Amino acid sequence: MPVPEHSSPAPTARDAGPAGAPQPPPPASTELSAFLATLPEVELHLHLLGAASVDTVLDLARRHPPSAVPVEREELARFYAFRDFARFIDVYAAVNALVRRPGDIAALVTGLGRSLAAVGVRYAEVTVTPLSHLAQGIAPQDLADALTEGRAAVRERDGVELARVFDVAGELGPEPAWDALGWVLRYRPEGTVGFGLGGPEVGVGRAQFARHFAVARDAGLHSLPHAGETTGPATVWSALRDLGAERIGHGITTVSDPRLLDHLAEHRIALEVCPTSNLRTGAVPDLADHPLPRLLQAGVPVALSSGDLGMFDTDLAREYRVATDVLGLRPSDLAHLARTAVEVSYCPEPLRSALLAAVDDTLPPGDRS
Ligand SMILES: [Zn+2]
C-alpha cells in the first residue's frame, strides 16, 4: 500500500483502513525525508517471514497454489489487516506454509535485502525461526545453505550486511526449543549472532527456557528474547534474570515500572521498539500514546525497528517519521536513535565504526559523541 508524499494534516492513528484496521500516519515533510535519506540505518528487530514484502508473498502464493494466502495484491492487503495479536499469529502461519523449498527461503532473504536497501538500511539483524521452515520439509542443511547464499547475494547486490538471530516460538514449549537450538549450534550459518524467543507471551513464561539460553550463551550466542510486548514488566524482569537478556524485543510495558526503567538505563540494555507493529497487533491502541518518548526520557537505550515490515506495511524510514510526526521527536533525536541502534548491535568492524561516523555527520557539531 504505497503512501503518497503530501503536506496535508496527518490523519490520526484512529483512522481506519479498508478493513477497519488502524492506520499509522503518512510520511511527513520532504525536509524530513531528505534528512532520513542521509541517515544510515540499522535494523535490529526484523522477522524474515513477517518482513516479506507484498511482492515476495504474492510470488510465494503464486508458486504454491492453492493456499490460504490471496494471490491478488488488494486481497492480500485486506488479508494483512490485523486487529489483534491472535489474528496476526494466524496470518503469520498461513504465510509460513508457503515457504516449502530452499528457493523460497532464498526469495525471502533477497526480497528483504531489496526492501532494506530501498530505505537506506546498511546492517540488519534478522530473526529466523528454523523450526517453522524445517516443519515445512526443508532439509536442515538446505535451510542453512539457502540463508548463507541469500545473505551473500544481498551483500553483493544491495550492499546490506545481514546478521541472524535464530529464535523459537515459545508456545511450542521447552522440548522443541532444544531442537531449534540444536539446529543453530550444528549448522550455525555465517552471520549468526543470537538466540531469541518469540510467539505469544501470554501463558508462555520465559523461565522455562532458562537452560536453553544458558547453553546458547555458552556457545557464544547473544540472548535476544521478546518480552514485555503483550504482558507486563514482570516478563521483562524474567527475561533479564532467567535468560540473561542482552536486548529485549519490544519491552514497551517496561514503561510502567520505574525500577525496571532505571535498571535498563543503568545497564544499557536496549529495547527494540517497533511502534507500527505495536499498533497493528493492538499492543498499543493509539500511536499517539506510544511509550517511546517516555522510555527515552528515562534514559533507556532504544533501537527503533520495524518488526514485520511487510505484514505491517511499514519500514524503518516510516518508523522514524512516526517518531517525529506523532511522538514529537526532533531530527537530532532520530540521529541519536540511529546511533544507539549501531551501539547496541553486533555489527562487526569496520562497518560499525563507519556507521557511527556517518550517523555523527548528521548531528550538529556540538551534539556529536
Ligand atoms: Zn518480533
pTM, whole model, 2 decimals?
0.89
Query: Hey, CA dihedral for 102, 104, 108, 109, is it positive or negative?
Result: positive
Residue 216: how many CA atoms within 13 Å on its side-chain side?
34
Q: What domains can you pick out in the chain, each with its CATH number?
A: 18-360 (3.20.20.140)
Q: How far is the CA of 273 from the centre of ligand 1 (A)?
A: 9
Q: How far is the CA of 283 from the centre of ligand 1 (A)?
A: 12
For 45-95, write each residue's pLDDT tens digit: 999 999 998 889 999 999 999 888 999 999 988 887 766 777 777 888 899
Per-residue pLDDT for 127 more than 70? Answer: yes
Nearest to residue 123, comparing CAs of 166, 164, 165, 162?
162
222, three cell numbers: 547473544
Cα–ligand 1 centroid distance for 185 (angstroms): 22
CA–centroid distance, 304 to ligand 1, in Å, is 12
Task: Kindly give the interhelix angle for 331-343 and 351-360, rounded to the nearest 10 degrees.
Answer: 170
Report the separation in Å between the CA atom of 197 and the middle of ligand 1, taken as the mean of its atom positions.
9
Which listed residue (43, 201, 229, 272) is catalytic?
Answer: 229
Residue 350 DSSP code: T
| pLDDT tier for residue 22 given thresholds of 50, 70 and 90 | very low
Distance CA 98, CA 128 (A): 15
**Measured between alpha carbons, how far is 221 from 244 in angstroms, rounded to an integer?**
11
Q: What is the pLDDT of residue 366?
A: 65
Tell me the mean pLDDT in the region 304-329: 90
Q: Say what the pLDDT of residue 294 is.
A: 97
Cα 132 to ligand 1 centre (Å): 15
User: Rounded to whole angstroms, how far apart are CA atoms 48 and 64?
Assistant: 19
Determine the distance separating the centroid of ligand 1 and the alpha carbon of 230, expressed in angstroms.
11
* CA 43 to centroid of ligand 1, rounded, Å: 12
Confidence of residue 260 (pLDDT cuts 50, 70, 90): very high
Predicted pLDDT of residue 77? 82
Tell me what pLDDT residue 170 has.
Answer: 95
Q: What letter would DSSP give residue 28?
A: -
CA of 8 to the centre of ligand 1 (A): 32
Known catalytic residue at 229: yes
